[in-house]
Amino acid sequence: MVDPTPEAPPGGEWNASALPLHVQAPQPPPAPAGYYDAAPPAADAAPLRLEARGVRKVYRTGSVEVEALAGVDLSVAAGELVAVMGASGSGKTTLLNCLSGLDEIDDGEVFVDGVDIQRLPDAKRTEHRARSMGFVFQAFNLIPVFTAVENVELPMLLVGTPAKEARERASEILARVGLGDRLGNRPNEMSGGEQQRTTVARALVTEPSIVWADEPTGNLDTHTAQTVLDLLWELNDHGQTLIVVTHDPAIGDSAARVVNMRDGSVIADRVQEKRRVEASR
On whether residue 160 sits in a domain, the answer given is yes
User: Using one digit for the tens of pLDDT, what is the confidence trace for 13-50?
Assistant: 445 444 444 444 444 444 433 333 334 445 456 789 99
* Sequence-ordered alpha helix ranges (H) in 38-121: 92-99
Q: Is 186 exposed, middle or buried (0-12, 13-18, 19+ CB in 10 A)?
A: middle
On whether residue 261 sits in a domain, the answer given is yes
On whether residue 85 sits in a domain, the answer given is yes
Q: Which amino acid is at 67?
A: E
Tally of domains within the chain? 1
Q: How far apart are CA 107 and CA 131, in angstroms?
A: 25
User: Using one digit for the tens of pLDDT, what is the confidence trace for 124-181?
Assistant: 998 889 889 999 988 889 999 999 999 999 999 988 999 999 999 999 999 988 899 9
Judged by DSSP in three states, 87 sits in coil
Domain of 168? 79-97+121-271
Residue 222 CB coordination number (10 Å):
11
**Residue 214 in contact with residue 137, Cβ under 8 Å?**
yes
Predicted structure pTM score? 0.79
Q: Any idea what the CATH number is for the domain that residue 84 is in? A: 3.40.50.300
User: Using one digit for the tens of pLDDT, what is the confidence trace for 107-116?
Assistant: 999 999 999 9
